[in-house]
Amino acid sequence: MVEKILENGTPKQKEKVKEYARIAGQIRGQRQYLSELTKKAQAAAGQKNRLVYDAENGSNLPGTLKRSEGEAPTGDNTIDEAYEGTGATYDLYSDVFSRSSVDNQGLDLISTVHYLVGYDNAFWNGDQMVFGDGDENLPEAERIFNRFTIAVDIIGHELTHGVTQYEANLVYRNQSGALNESISDVFGSLVKQHVKDQTADQADWIIGAGIFSENINAIGIRSMKAPGTAYDDPLIGTDPQPDHMSDYVDTTSDNGGVHINSGIPNKAFYNVATEIGGYAWEKAGLIWYKSLCDELTQSADFQAAANATYKVAGDLYGNNSTEQKAVYNGWEKVGIIPNADTNTGCSGRILRTIRSIFGRSNS
């Protein structure tokens, strides 16, 4: 019950529970219990609670706890990068969007590092993040990937999959899946820009810079500024991302091209952020965040995202504001015309098609 109150109670109830926990702890001498409750209370009160585990090259999750909130660096780069990166992500969401962790209810930020041997990936499994060491078990000359905690935007990307799960819960297939991926890239990049204190025109807009070893001709895994240009190498092929709807890739691979067609909304966000100028998280980021939380539904497609962001820009900054015009221009440049009438995507498209057939197109 105590845990429930800490999760769902009012601030007054939470404070009472914390007081109860302090007294109970003193009476019973159960320091461990008090410590755990305090951690839950901190999370419920909106404080970050990072927990980094080590899978020790196995696959059992979460593994062995190696660093908790407030503890000193361990000296293991991977553990410490995961700790710092999850903290930077928490800070962006908290400081800029007033969000309390992934679920907006103070969820613990759990990471597991050293997952398997030679694991070239990172992912969000619905509850926590998992990071592989890349090829750091191999001699340098044979490596393709470095460890996946090396890039703070990758950490932001994975945690944002969690945020999306708790908000629009975009289906991970076809356009809704590509939007899911794009939103993770957007906020992953914003985490990096926030850490580096960069404005939109100062940022590199590269996702995963440093992930590839020097043996590979790559600047990262994706470019939001110029989708399709992040890598070109005999071993890993050429970056397949399009930057315009005219080059949309119809495929059954990759859950319908979720990591491919995400280049289109990525480029739209880049267009909007650079046209507005300044820190990208302040306006463009806020428009995307509010759209994710309040407008988009599970099956949203690119058109729905364009409509939603256009509407939110109008709500936040006024119709015909420079910000709303930037949103319009950003999507138009990738071949999608935002529609102010509706943000439902599919029905909006059908309506426009019907109007078009009868010569009354409003777009």
Partner 1 sequence: MITEIEINSKDLDTSEEEHLKTMINRSDIFNLPEPVKNSSTMPDQFQYKVSIQQDGRKRELNLDEENVPDHLRNLITYILKKGRKK
Please tell me the count of residues contacting partner 1 according to CB under 8 A.
25
Task: Tell me if residue 161 is catalytic.
Answer: no
**Given 24, 69, 105, 173, the residue binding partner 1 (CB under 8 A):** 173
Min dist. Cβ of residue 135 to partner 1 (A): 9
Contact yes or no for 126/110 (Cβ under 8 A): no
Residue 237 interacts with partner 1 (CB under 8 A): yes or no: yes
Residue 144 interacts with partner 1 (CB under 8 A): yes or no: yes
Task: Tell me whether residue 36 or residue 120 sits nearer to partner 1 (CB atom).
Answer: 120
**Given 66, 259, 283, 290, the residue binding partner 1 (CB under 8 A):** 259
Task: Tell me whether residue 76 or residue 233 sits nearer to partner 1 (CB atom).
Answer: 233
- As a whole number of Å, the CA-based R_g of the chain is 22
Residue 172 interacts with partner 1 (CB under 8 A): yes or no: yes
For residue 147, give Cα distances in angstroms to 60, 112, 253, 272. Answer: 19, 13, 25, 32
Task: Tell me whether residue 78 or residue 274 sits nearer to partner 1 (CB atom).
Answer: 78
Closest-CA residue to 118 (of 95, 93, 94, 143): 143
Task: Tell me whether residue 126 or residue 359 sits nearer to partner 1 (CB atom).
Answer: 126
Between CA 243 and CA 266 the distance in angstroms is 8
Min dist. Cβ of residue 34 to partner 1 (A): 36
| Side-chain-facing half-sphere of 105: CA atoms under 13 Å | 12
Between CA 159 and CA 32 the distance in angstroms is 29
Active-site entry in 158, 181, 275, 323? 158
Min dist. Cβ of residue 87 to partner 1 (A): 21
Task: Tell me if residue 158 is catalytic.
Answer: yes
Amino acid at 146: N
Min dist. Cβ of residue 259 to partner 1 (A): 7
Residues in the chain: 363
Q: Which of residues 207-226 bind partner 1 (CB under 8 A)?
A: 221
**DSSP at 30:** -
Angle at 115 between CA 113 and CA 118, to 5 degrees: 120
Residue 181 interacts with partner 1 (CB under 8 A): yes or no: yes
Residue 298 interacts with partner 1 (CB under 8 A): yes or no: no
Kindly report whether the peptide bond that precedes residue 62 is cis, defined as omega within 30 degrees of 0: yes
Task: Tell me whether residue 216 or residue 286 sits nearer to partner 1 (CB atom).
Answer: 216
For residue 86, give Cα distances in angstroms to 62, 67, 110, 331, 356. Answer: 16, 12, 9, 30, 48
Amino acid at 249: V
Residues lying near partner 1 in the complex (CB under 8 A)? 121-126, 142, 144, 158, 161, 172-173, 180-181, 184, 221, 234-237, 240, 253-255, 259
- Provide the annotated active-site residues: 158, 259
